[in-house]
Structure 1
């Protein structure tokens, strides 16, 4: 869950026993060694021809997923929903959206995954529900309804409450007037996504029971959507003018959030061997550590979203800044806690179009380079479906082609305020979430082999050359390179637990670092630019073993014992000798 321009994302894992912090970063856990593959079900594979991806479609591709070498799937919401925000508005937490299939389909999917050694993490939306959920229907029916306090209501008798900013509303007003009871309800996102009141213990009990329901089915974890916003100051005090420009400072990590996390851990997560992923790590390193310190019994793995927000416009970004951000977050969690690494998800445009270069000349090389980065940094890698192919932004020209609710509402908002519509359209071509949600490109047949019907959103026209079938046949494809680097990570645990050290810090083009531990030392050298670049890493590499290179002819030239000349977007992984 995010806006078009602002997002705050943290990956976390719960159910961690108290431990010696000095050893925490090297303690071996399955979730540290996992490679997580995110599936956006609506766009993955359609089995029944209605134009929408479904559970049977995923089942039909489980062998493909297994072939990637990944061992955890994060699945976006599949619960019953009217689809105001593509499933992030849940109307029934214990049922499956009809477009996606049935509970029998889900059971078959889970069984098929487990048979292949793949774990399942489900998305869980509990900051808010749909306004079509039975809880909300009852809540708005009467001021005396037993469900009234499941949501945040402000009686209009007292006048309108202090302003709150809505990320997805056309007018960005988070208070929606409801004439039935002459009151306003709160919605940080769409007006069809009323926020749940976590101060109500009955609500919390209902959510914990629902989580247990899925745990008993055998799932392996949850990703808690927008959860850092769940705790609120229910007196709703006045915020300073302009607060919406940095609303996270006021919305994130509110009163009792840690109490709720500790209670959730005690009531649900500590009772099952599950992984929990929470969106939001607060506003500071202290916020992050307060959620992940082991002795607090809350969370035990954090993700810093700062890195993925670096490329804010098509003009590019500073490689030095990129290195500084990722190195800083690594250092913060060097001895306790744990990081996750990712550059894309369903709320982002395509990775290669933002961080790399999606031109025909450099798309494959830069995609492979970014894959190398994700799979060789310390932390658990999260990889979004389709990026293994080097899929790119679609860049729609007409607003009618977009499907993202937040984009469509912002378009109306810009029209209402007389905004620069050409600037807006140029911006969404680069950043809109729909760029990452076009159907996965399976082959060169009609609709990229995604569906036999009319796809819910248009397929990228480049599917005839960028698709699974074509890349399976090419040993140098993005797909096969992804498999190779994932296999390297699975084979060499130094790439999981090893110490990270940045090299050639001030180089404006090259990102070089070592990973050291497990009796080994690895060197990773990445050229983030479309030009030839040079780096002096200060380490002799002539007699070292080259494990991976994204150019078909192998490594770049080595001018002397530590100087490397890199071709555009070149990526190298060496195993260093003593």
Structure 2
């Protein structure tokens, strides 16, 4: 097992710092809050933490609009705090991955402030500028994910600029080599501070079509949301030209060349394209681009054995050289404990099964804070919304605030131990009963079973590194083998609340693993699983 890179098969714990723990009483989580909880994070059995943006920002998109890539926003702390976080994490053998938002900046970034002044300054070509059409309308039909045209008029230059996200997030022009180098220099700044890798936000959005061709319309029956609301006009187009351009592959190689100078440094790309699985394979091919990629394909509402099997199988067929990373939840989508629940309310047994399923797929995994507690989506009132995405598309889409509410640390403490001050988003009362403190007292709580499984998984090379081979099963059973260096492990999951039976002859002798998650029974020719049960055995 030692011959494999640390990130292969790793469990990566995503921290949304605004909502993790507040130590200075302003209602917003901070870097010191992460430091305070490193022992808890270590107890989960994870290998790395991925910290969402904490850089200087006007916070129009809560840190994904960066105004200074080389400094910490004061609400989160200081560079000294960050250096302490790195040192304390490494003392506990926890790797540290940070977000890098490369495709766009804040409109308050010095680069854009200069670029927008006129057409002749030193940064004039650092962003995507275009003249209006003769009638004054936008250069083409590209749309922003957050609603409306992807073009914003700038009166200083008398031109439009491109923003694939908020108007306050102008897109950089990666066709300009000076931009690419400046971006890489910012990445290297954090490598020199000791980070172990990067989660690269919207990495396939770096390049745009230089000819600014219109995106073609998409038939209504093919409109699907992948990380965005399905009633969003963004889904009405094939996004052939505003992202995922061929030139981006060369930039992935430039990123890899930089990271290869820092042994052990890893890149994880967030990818959302017209064919995200194919793009993941392209961006991780040949060992000279990204180390890993993940997409929104298992962050959807489709919860069926067939969909999971087909999605993973397709990626396996496409990605013959790279390494996958899977996630069921993150800071952009409804929490999986609600999203995949038939009642839209968390079911502890299902949450436990889903964590085991995620950690049994081939690849590395990302676990979102609170997923280990089985937290469901919080219902945030419109008057409390902070997310501009949700405010724009309310009520058919309530935005991302429901998955971003504060972590519940203590059931009886004020504000659940998250802060001594009213939090930036309201605490969910249902979450309070699922607090860390409460679950630590219960031997078979969702938290305890999560930690037990992740610790046990480290002893299983088949689950960490093995190939995957699915068994053709009927709903609601998902089953597959994981194989590695002559060993083979059978994994069977019941995705339904009712008892299920899978007829399957296992070779003798058959050894069921010593695992508290196992709720299935094998009687010689079939496996019986309780509702939301799983059966994992070495065969």
TM-score normalised over the length of structure 2:
0.91
Shift of 1:533: 1.4
Deviation of 1:26 after TM superposition, in Å, equals 12
Alignment of 1:449 with 2:417, yes or no, is yes
1:16-165 map, 5 Å? 28-156=4-132, 159-160=136-137, 161-165=139-143
Matched, 1:496 2:464: yes
Aligned with residue 428 of structure 2, among 436, 455, 460: 460
Q: Is the 8 A contact 1:253 1:282 kept in 2?
A: yes
Q: 1:341 aligns with which of 326, 329, 336?
A: 326
Matched, 1:272 2:248: no
For 1:26 and 1:149, the matched residues in 2 are separated by 47
**Whole-angstrom distance in 1 between the partners of 2:245 and 2:510:** 54
Contact 1:129 1:194 in 2 (8 A): yes
Partner of 2:520: 556
Tell me the secondary structure at the aligned position of residue 74 of structure 1: strand
RMSD: 2.2
- The alpha carbon displacement at 1:540 in A equals 5.2
Runs of at least 5 residues in structure 2 that lack an aligned partner in the other structure: 219-233
Secondary structure, counterpart of 1:150 in structure 2: coil
Give matches, 1:399-478, under 5 Å: 399-411=382-394, 421=395, 424=396, 427-428=397-398, 432-444=399-411, 445-478=413-446
How many residue pairs match? The answer is 519
Contact 2:278 2:318 in 1 (8 A): no
With 456-465 and 94-103 compared, the bigger mean Cα shift is at 456-465
The answer as to whether partners of 2:59 and 2:65 remain within 8 angstroms in 1 is yes
1:248 partner SS: coil
Q: 1:204, 1:213 → 2: CA distance? A: 14
Tell whether the 8 Å contact from 2:51 to 2:98 is kept in structure 1 after alignment: yes
Shift, 1:377, TM fit: 1.2
Q: CA deviation at 1:491?
A: 1.0
For residues 436-494 of structure 1, the C-alpha deviation after alignment (integer angstroms, 9 at most, x for no partner) is 11111101122111010010001111133201001111110111111111112111111
Question: Retained in 1: the 8 A contact 2:489–2:538?
Answer: yes
Measure the CA separation in 2 of the matches of 1:287 and 1:58.
33
Structure 1: where are the runs of 5+ without partners?
1-24, 312-316, 412-420
Deviation at 1:501, TM superposition (A): 1.8
**Contact in 1 for aligned 2:462/2:483 (Cα 8 Å):** yes
Alpha carbons 2:334, 2:402 under 8 Å: kept: yes
User: Highest relative contact order (Cα 8 Å, sep 6+), 1 or 2?
Assistant: 1
Contact 1:188 1:195 in 2 (8 A): yes
**Match for 1:291 among 283, 286, 291?**
283
Q: Retained in 1: the 8 A contact 2:416–2:435?
A: yes
User: Equivalents in 1 of 2:314, 2:204: separation in Å?
Assistant: 22
Change (3 A) 1:244 1:119: same
Q: CA deviation at 1:286?
A: 4.8
Which whole-Å CA distance do the structure 2 matches of 1:137 and 1:455 have between them?
A: 32
1:414 alignment counterpart:
none
Give the number of the structure whose residues are more often helix, by fraction: 1
C-alpha distance in 1, partners of 2:344/2:274?
A: 36
Query: What is the rounded CA distance, in whole Å, between the counterparts of 2:519 and 2:459 in structure 1?
Result: 21
Q: Within 5 A, what are the aligned runs for 1:494-533?
A: 494-503=462-471, 505-533=472-500
Q: Deviations over 1:187-243 (max 9, x none)?
A: 010000000111111111211111111111111111111110111112212333458
Alpha-carbon separation, structure 2, partners of 1:173 and 1:33: 40
1:394-448 CA-to-partner distances (Å, cap 9, x unmatched) read 123x31122211111223xxxxxxxxx5xx1xx53xxx42221111110112211
Secondary structure, counterpart of 1:87 in structure 2: coil
Looking at structure 1, the residues matched to 155 and 36 of structure 2 have their Cα atoms a distance apart, in angstroms, of 48
